Structures are given as C-alpha cells and as structure tokens.
C-alpha cells in the first residue's frame, strides 16, 4: 500500500475534530465520529463523537488482526466499545433505550490481506474511478425539512434545533436496525457494504499477459477513502477541496446545491470535519 496524499481538517479545530485516520501495515481507515445530539458526554474531556473515533482508531491499531474479515471487525469493535466503556460505567441498560447518547461513528477500512474496502456507516470511497456511498436513508427527508424551515424565515441555528428531535426519533427507530453505525451495540450487517478490488492484468494485452505470466498479477489500483465532510468527493484531494470551497462560497448553509442537515456554524471553517486519503495497492 502506497499513500499518495492525505488530509484531516477539523471544522473548528484539530483538538475538537471528530474525524480520524489510521494507517497500519494491514489496514487504512477513515473514522467519522457522529455529531452529538445530546449534552451528555461519556468522557468528560470530549464529545461522544470524538471519543468514539478515538476508541475505534485504538481498536484498529492494537486489536484488529491482519486476516480479520468484515464480520470480525464489526463484532470486535462493538465488543471493544461495550466492554471498555459501557460496562465499566454501568450505562449499558440506559443506552439500550437511548441511542442518541451512545458513542457513535462510521468507519471505512481497506484490508490489505483481503483486498476489500469495508463501509460501516455513512462514508464514501472512489475505487478505480467509481464513487461508492453509504449514507443514512432518513437524512435527506430531514434535510429538506430544514431547508423549508429556513425558507420560512428561521435562522439556520433555529432550523437545526427544530430538526434535532427528528434526528433523535430516526435514531430511536432505525439505529442499527435499518441503517448501520458503530455504537457499541450489534451492528446492522445488512447496512455494511463490502467492495472487493478487482484483479487487473499488468499488461495491456490479454494475450501477451497469458503468455508472459505464470500467475495473476494486479496492476496498481487507486483508492480514495473519505468522510462525508466532502459533499462532492473527487479523485484528488485538490479537486475535492476546490469543490468544497465552491460549495462554502455559494451555499454555506447547504440548502441549494447540496442539501444537508447542517450548514456552517459561525466560527467554523466548514459544516463538518473532513478526512481524505488516496493510496494505491498492488497484489
């Protein structure tokens, strides 16, 4: 695996950033801690989204085996959060009924051993030029409601406050039931996407390839992994940043060209933390 370029930029500051990136000999991952919907913090030093990101990063670095499957990851990271935090704090019973208070995040990982990309929650990737997404199914409807409220005269802050009960209601009914997140409770497996990188002959001539090669050889496959802080993901970091800058300049509240449940809050650099990594792999 060869890293071509990467970046993590917090919407407010590096210290408050809820995004994370992990690069090991066996995995490359982007983790996106979810924006908190509650003032309750399970770690008094940080918001729940950042704490979730840090725990998942720790699990990948220290616990995840090189030959792990996507199911191994889902089960292992769930147990890691549950045992390390929920059981120790004695909050597991409350959190069964209050998903909005859980440590919640999405993650996208590339497994070198399995040559697969795992999309566990709301994240995005470009693999061999094709865009892959795994968004929450309810968000667009709530985002449109926010747009309507702003068009009716509410401020962006007031509109966000109005839709937060809808976001929490969607979590109560759907979190790890109809859509997938990492939150310390069993992951909704049907919402996990797995993309296997395809084998491509190094030679441009199939006939020459079979004559010259005694075993399959993969040419370089280029992969981009990113959090949803990039509304329009592009094959390069510069292009992704340029597209985001255009969005911020022309539609900072995300109510026209890109519809979202939040816009830019005063004092922030963007509407969300953002992480991007582009790399090549060869088998």
Yes or no: say if 225 and 4 are a contact pair by the CB < 8 Å rule.
Answer: no
Spatial separation of the C-alpha atoms in residues 173 and 242, rounded to whole Å = 37
* pLDDT, tens digit only, all 283 positions of the chain: 899 999 999 999 999 999 999 999 999 999 999 988 888 899 999 999 999 999 999 999 999 999 999 999 999 999 999 999 999 999 999 999 999 999 999 999 999 999 999 999 999 999 989 999 998 888 899 999 999 999 999 999 999 999 999 999 999 989 999 999 999 999 999 999 999 998 655 444 444 433 444 444 445 689 999 999 999 999 999 999 999 999 999 999 999 999 999 999 988 999 999 999 999 987 6
Q: Quote helix, strand, coil % in the chain, to nearest 5.
A: 35, 20, 45
Yes or no: say if 134 and 119 are a contact pair by the CB < 8 Å rule.
Answer: yes
Spatial separation of the C-alpha atoms in residues 156 and 40, rounded to whole Å = 23
* Cβ contacts of 8 within 8 Å, gap of 6 or more: 14, 17, 19, 20, 21, 273, 274, 275
The full set of domains in the chain, from first to last, is: 2-136+174-240+273-281 (3.60.40)
pLDDT for position 71? 97
pTM for the whole structure: 0.89
Spatial separation of the C-alpha atoms in residues 252 and 263, rounded to whole Å = 6
Token output for 2: 């060869």
- DSSP-assigned states of every residue in 111-152: ETTTTEEEEESS-EEEETTEEEE---TTHHHHHHHHHHHHHT
pLDDT for position 48? 96
């Amino acid at each position: 695996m060869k890293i071509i370029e990467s970046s993590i930029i917090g919407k407010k500051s590096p210290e408050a950033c809820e995004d994370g990136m992990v690069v090991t000999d066996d995995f490359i991952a982007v983790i996106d801690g979810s924006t908190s919907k509650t003032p309750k913090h399970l770690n008094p030093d940080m918001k729940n989204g950042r704490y979730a990101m840090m725990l998942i990063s720790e699990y990948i670095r220290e616990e995840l085996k090189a030959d792990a499957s996507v199911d191994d990851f889902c089960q292992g990271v769930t147990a890691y959060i549950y045992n390390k935090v929920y059981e120790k704090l004695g909050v597991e019973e409350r959190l069964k009924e209050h998903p909005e208070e859980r440590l919640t995040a999405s993650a996208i990982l590339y497994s070198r051993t399995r040559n697969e990309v795992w999309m566990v929650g709301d994240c995005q990737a470009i693999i061999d030029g094709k865009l892959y997404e795994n968004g929450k199914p309810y968000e667009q409807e709530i985002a449109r409601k926010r747009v309507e409220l702003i068009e009716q005269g509410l401020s962006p802050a007031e509109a966000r406050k109005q839709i937060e009960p809808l976001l929490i209601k969607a979590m109560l009914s759907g979190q790890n039931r109809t859509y997938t997140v990492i939150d310390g409770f069993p992951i909704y497996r049907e919402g996990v996407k797995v993309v296997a990188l395809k084998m491509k002959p190094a030679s441009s001539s199939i006939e020459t390839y079979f004559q010259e090669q005694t075993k399959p050889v993969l040419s370089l496959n280029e992969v981009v992994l990113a959090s949803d802080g990039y509304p329009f993901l592009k094959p390069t970091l510069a292009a992704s940043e340029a597209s985001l800058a255009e969005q911020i300049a022309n539609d900072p509240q995300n109510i026209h060209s890109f519809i979202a449940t939040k816009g830019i809050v005063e004092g922030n650099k963007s509407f969300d933390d953002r992480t991007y990594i582009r790399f090549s792999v060869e088998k």
